Chains A and B, each alone.
Chain A
Amino acid sequence: MPDILTLPRPSAPSISANGERYAITAENLNVYYGAFQAVRDINLKIERQKITALIGPSGCGKSTVLRSFNRMNDLIPVARTEGRVMFHGKNIYDADVDPVEVRRRVGMVFQKPNPFPKSIYENVAWGARINGYRGDLDALVEQSLRQAALWDEVKDKLHQSGYSLSGGQQQRLCIARAIAVQPEIILMDEPASALDPIATLRIEELMRELRKEYTIIVVTHNMQQAARVSDYTAFFTVDEHRTGYLAEYGPTTELFTNPRQKITEDYITGRFG
């Protein structure tokens, strides 16, 4: 499989203060569920402070790859990971790495909104608290909710249950919750798939806003969404064993206007998947 990432790219890379260009990279990543290989040989370098979309047909392993970026796959007893995921120059799958450390820095927003059965305030404050936050909690909660574009809607009912909100609001609450821990990277697994078009639009706006501070990796089934919000797009598909692999990766505009691979073109034009 050719390393498409080594190809020259048009856009100027944003290089961070200490010279690191990538927020997180997967190297020869293979994930198995028991004997079944879900994805193989994934090489993926995620640019800092950009939005990277993972697209592909159902079952091609998008969620699997996404979850391997913060070791959420550890929670599935049968799951096994090979290869490396480099984060700050360290392989997060090394034996001495604590997944709890990783997840604090690589937050996650799930497909279905899953607020805790606690108040809105507690939902946001909880993660900060367990991570030893000593500052002004009220301020942090407010700031996170503002960043998640939810503050105005909930500021008068912070102590009501998180479940008193609408689906879209719940999802923004989950984003606020993730932000409150101040991660570097936010993983989002189809964050808008359970929402109506208006709520989806708000989440997309929010993502673009968040890009200024965070690196975002988002799984989506919605081609327009990927085209609208993401800077880079990774297209996954499956081989004859139903094992997923990375078929093409590049700047979103390029991938959508001028796909290198036939299969990518088929997929984005809707002839496949």
Chain B
Amino acid sequence: MQSDLSQPIQAMNVPVAQHQEVIDLRRRRRAGESLIHGFLFLSGVLSVFTTVGIVLVLLSQALAFFRRPEVSLFDFLTKTTWQPAIGEFGIFPLVNATLLTSFIAVIVALPLGLMIAIYLSEYASAPARRIIKPVLEMLAGVPTVVYGFFALTFVTAILRALLGSDRVEIFNVGSAGLVIGILILPLVASMSEDALHAVPGALREAAFGLGATRLETTLRIVLPAALSGISAAFIVAISRAVGETMIVAIAAGAGPRNFKSWADAVTGFKFLNPFTAAETMTGHMVRISGGDLSYDSIDYDSIFAIGLTLFVMTLALNIASRWAVRRFREEY
């Protein structure tokens, strides 16, 4: 940079140009500028390469997985057992556990988070909000491994004490799901609060001026006006829950909950049982890669096939979130 700046200073030592002398105003090639421009451009497109990299890596390894003689895409999608040791690769048990933990999390976190947001934005005093809001934001930054510890050492213990240790296994989907809910709670509350807070006060005044109570103002004017932001918060939270890894790796179980058949899965709603262990997609990926994974093993390829499934799911949620923001945006 220094050299660029010194240029005009040198120029000043040159005798002042005569009137007749032609000044060159043409575009000059500045080597430094171009170099910098190049670097900036590369940095900008690196993110595109990252995406391309992710997609290529997932696709190519997943393809390698499905090319293997013991695997078929059809079985992958329709079988109800994931047991690499005997060559059974049905994704259902893993996806089922992911959906189950996410569902429990969402049931806990969305209503609770939204109510907290409403309380903070519409009811709490300004000092209370000033304290609680940053605390929420900080809690949203607590590493997930800490929440995993909490799930295993506290929530599981409580569940077992309350419901009986014969019903609730040490590793179980329920406590992992609950704690994922707790993990995304600050996220939901904080993002929803932002959305509610952004609703102009004039709308609230108008409602109050018509004789509305605070509840009516909140639920029927402010909430609909903030729907765009709140729905985005919800979808981001769901996406976090689906992709959450450490909590389930620690607390949900160390093996897929397999079913002999679809009939077996649905009898007595076994696939929905929250008190037994099950391995989610992410949990399985972590456990399999935890050991020294050799590159040409089927296990190595399989985690990329699972990763691709997960990627597609979260990508769909991301796109849905952007759609929701646009769909529910109200101008005011």
Name A residues whose Cβ lies closer than 8 Å to a Cβ of B. Answer: 70, 72, 75, 77, 100-105, 107-108, 110, 112, 114-118, 126-127, 130-131, 161, 163, 174, 177-178, 181
CB neighbours (8 Å) of B99 from chain A are none
CB neighbours (8 Å) of B39 from chain A are none
Could you name 26 residue pairs across A and B whose Cβ atoms are closer than 8 Å?
Answer: A70-B209, A72-B209, A75-B204, A102-B211, A103-B208, A103-B211, A104-B210, A105-B211, A107-B211, A108-B205, A110-B202, A112-B202, A114-B200, A114-B205, A114-B332, A116-B206, A117-B225, A117-B330, A126-B210, A130-B216, A131-B210, A131-B211, A161-B330, A161-B331, A174-B206, A178-B210
Verify A103–B209 contact, CB threshold 8 A. yes
Q: Return the contact of B210 from the options A75, A112, A130 (Cβ within 8 A).
A: A130
CB neighbours (8 Å) of A112 from chain B are 202
Starting from the known contacts A75-B208, A103-B209, A127-B211, 13 additional A-B residue pairs (CB-CB under 8 Å) come to: A75-B204, A75-B205, A77-B125, A103-B208, A104-B210, A107-B210, A110-B205, A110-B209, A116-B206, A117-B203, A117-B330, A126-B210, A130-B216
Verify A177–B331 contact, CB threshold 8 A. no
- Given A126-B220, A130-B220, the answer on whether A117 and B331 have CB atoms closer than 8 Å is yes
CB neighbours (8 Å) of B331 from chain A are 117, 161, 163
Question: Considering the chains assembled together, what is the distance between the CA atoms of A118 and B213 in angstroms?
Answer: 19
CB neighbours (8 Å) of B325 from chain A are none
Verify B213–A114 contact, CB threshold 8 A. no
Verify B210–A181 contact, CB threshold 8 A. yes
CB neighbours (8 Å) of A110 from chain B are 202, 205-206, 209
Is B212 an interface residue, CB under 8 A from the partner? yes
Is B63 an interface residue, CB under 8 A from the partner? no
User: How far does the Cβ of B56 sit from chain A's closest Cβ, in whole Å?
Assistant: 44
Contact with A along B314-332 (1 / 0, CB 8 A): 0000000000000000111
**B204 to A, closest residue via Cβ:** A75
CB neighbours (8 Å) of B125 from chain A are 77
Name B residues whose Cβ lies closer than 8 Å to a Cβ of A. Answer: 125-126, 200, 202-213, 216, 220-221, 224-225, 330-332
- Given A77-B126, A163-B331, A163-B332, the answer on whether A116 and B209 have CB atoms closer than 8 Å is no
Report which residue of B202, B210, B224 has the largest number of chain A beta carbons within 10 angstroms of its beta carbon: B210
User: How far does the Cβ of B216 sit from chain A's closest Cβ, in whole Å?
Assistant: 5
CB neighbours (8 Å) of B220 from chain A are 126, 130
CB neighbours (8 Å) of B208 from chain A are 72, 75, 103
User: How far does the Cβ of B16 sit from chain A's closest Cβ, in whole Å?
Assistant: 56
CB neighbours (8 Å) of B225 from chain A are 116-117
User: How far does the Cβ of B328 sit from chain A's closest Cβ, in whole Å?
Assistant: 10
Verify B205–A127 contact, CB threshold 8 A. no
CB neighbours (8 Å) of B207 from chain A are 116, 126
- Given A117-B332, A161-B331, A163-B332, the answer on whether A127 and B203 have CB atoms closer than 8 Å is no
CB neighbours (8 Å) of B200 from chain A are 114
CB neighbours (8 Å) of A115 from chain B are 206, 332
Q: Is the interface of B mostly helix, strand, loop or mixed?
A: helix
- Given A77-B126, A117-B330, A161-B331, the answer on whether A181 and B206 have CB atoms closer than 8 Å is no
User: How far does the Cβ of A142 sit from chain B's closest Cβ, in whole Å?
Assistant: 18
CB neighbours (8 Å) of A107 from chain B are 209-211
Verify B224–A117 contact, CB threshold 8 A. yes
**B330 to A, closest residue via Cβ:** A117
**A163 to B, closest residue via Cβ:** B331
User: How far does the Cβ of B149 sit from chain A's closest Cβ, in whole Å?
Assistant: 40
User: How far does the Cβ of A112 sit from chain B's closest Cβ, in whole Å?
Assistant: 6
**B202 to A, closest residue via Cβ:** A114
User: How far does the Cβ of A217 sit from chain B's closest Cβ, in whole Å?
Assistant: 13
Question: Considering the chains assembled together, what is the distance between the CA atoms of A72 and B207 in angstroms?
Answer: 11
Verify A100–B332 contact, CB threshold 8 A. no
User: How far does the Cβ of A65 sit from chain B's closest Cβ, in whole Å?
Assistant: 16
Q: Return the contact of A130 from the options B126, B212, B332 (Cβ within 8 A).
A: B212
**B209 to A, closest residue via Cβ:** A108
CB neighbours (8 Å) of A102 from chain B are 211
10 closest Cβ contacts across the A-B interface? A104-B211, A127-B210, A117-B330, A114-B202, A108-B209, A103-B211, A117-B332, A114-B206, A163-B331, A130-B216
CB neighbours (8 Å) of B204 from chain A are 75
Question: Considering the chains assembled together, what is the distance between the CA atoms of A102 and B220 in angstroms?
Answer: 20
CB neighbours (8 Å) of A116 from chain B are 203, 206-207, 221, 225, 332
**A128 to B, closest residue via Cβ:** B210
Verify A127–B212 contact, CB threshold 8 A. yes
**B201 to A, closest residue via Cβ:** A75
Verify A100–B203 contact, CB threshold 8 A. no
Report which residue of B202, B209, B213, B221 has the largest number of chain A beta carbons within 10 angstroms of its beta carbon: B209
Question: Considering the chains assembled together, what is the distance between the CA atoms of A116 and B212 in angstroms?
Answer: 13
- Given A117-B225, A126-B220, A163-B331, the answer on whether A177 and B210 have CB atoms closer than 8 Å is yes
